[in-house]
Amino acid sequence: MILDIIVPVSTDIWNKEVELEAEKIKSPGIQVRVTSLTKGPVSIESEYDEAFASPCVISQAEELEMNGSNGVVIYCFGEPGLHACKEKLSVPVVGLREAAVSMAKILGDRIGVISTIKSAVPRHVRALKHEVHKVVAVDMPVLDFVNVRELEKRIEIKIQELINYGCDVIVLGCGSMLNIDIKRMQNEYGLPIVIPLSAAMAMCEFLMKNNLKQSRLAYPFPPDKEIK
């Protein structure tokens, strides 16, 4: 079975790392394909970025389905084009945010999310509303996440801040928070930390293996019409 991961940005700098992480956690019999966009924003840090990425994500998802995909993960916490893809595709489509937050709800009662830059916080608060207790930011642009040690240091500061707010489970609020020593942090701070890729892949694989996909009552096919 083929599980496709769409990195919805117009750069492939994350593709190899995402593929390596996906290969570590995939189940036997699952083939992972990781692709990015040919055009669109180089990172997703605002509603504006999401809006520009969405049409490209939808087109790419449709093409992947035609090329044998059995399930699609949209690899961004902002989930550009997610609901449109759920309408259009006949295979399960899973977003990072919905998967990670759903997993966190199983693990605790007061969810804290660690996002990227400060201006990204309001859009996640709007999307999550009453689902999480607190959203904070490492105040670091996504393209700077290649400095893993600095990112890790800032994440730890925010973990402690969320604990002080009363959170009992943490969600990393960006797919590009890679190569972080999560096991050490969980042991040190004594609470679960949900990695979005792990949650999204686990859910997508489950749907694929059990022949489940988005409800057509909730996500009816879009009307057939000319789009100019």
pLDDT at 40: 93
- Residue carrying the six token digits 């389905």: 65
Cα radius of gyration rounded to whole Å, the chain: 17
Chain segment 119-141, per-residue pLDDT in tens: 999 999 998 988 999 999 999 99
- Residue carrying the six token digits 């700077």: 144
Chain segment 33-48, per-residue pLDDT in tens: 999 999 999 999 999 9
Q: Give start and end residues of each alpha helix (H) in the chain.
A: 15-25, 47-66, 82-88, 96-107, 121-128, 148-164, 182-189, 196-209
Residue 167 pLDDT level (bands cut at 50, 70, 90): very high
d(C-alpha 137, C-alpha 2), whole Å: 34
d(C-alpha 207, C-alpha 54), whole Å: 23
- Residue ranges per structural domain of the chain: 2-95+198-209, 98-196
Percent of the chain scoring above 90 in pLDDT: 91
pLDDT at 114: 97
Check pLDDT > 90 for residue 146. Answer: no
**Least reliable range by pLDDT among 26-30, 59-63, 108-112, 224-228:** 224-228
Q: Do domains 2-95+198-209 and 98-196 have the same CATH topology?
A: yes
Coil, strand or helix: which one is 16?
helix
Distances (CA, A) of 149 to 113, 144, 155, 167, 191: 20, 11, 10, 24, 21
**CATH code, 98-196:** 3.40.50.12500
pLDDT at 16: 94
CATH architecture for segment(s) 2-95+198-209? 3-Layer(aba) Sandwich (3.40)
Average pLDDT for residues 87-94, to the nearest whole number?
98
pLDDT at 2: 98
Check pLDDT > 90 for residue 225. Answer: no
Q: pTM (2 decimals)?
A: 0.93
d(C-alpha 15, C-alpha 7), whole Å: 7
d(C-alpha 16, C-alpha 142), whole Å: 16
pLDDT at 178: 87
Q: What is the mean pLDDT of the chain?
A: 95
pLDDT at 213: 96
Strand partners, 170: 112, 193
DSSP 74-102: E-STT-TTHHHHHHH-SS-EEEHHHHHHH
Average pLDDT for residues 51-66, to the nearest whole number?
97
Check pLDDT > 90 for residue 228. Answer: no
Distances (CA, A) of 120 to 19, 29, 46: 25, 37, 6
Residue 206 pLDDT level (bands cut at 50, 70, 90): very high
d(C-alpha 159, C-alpha 137), whole Å: 10
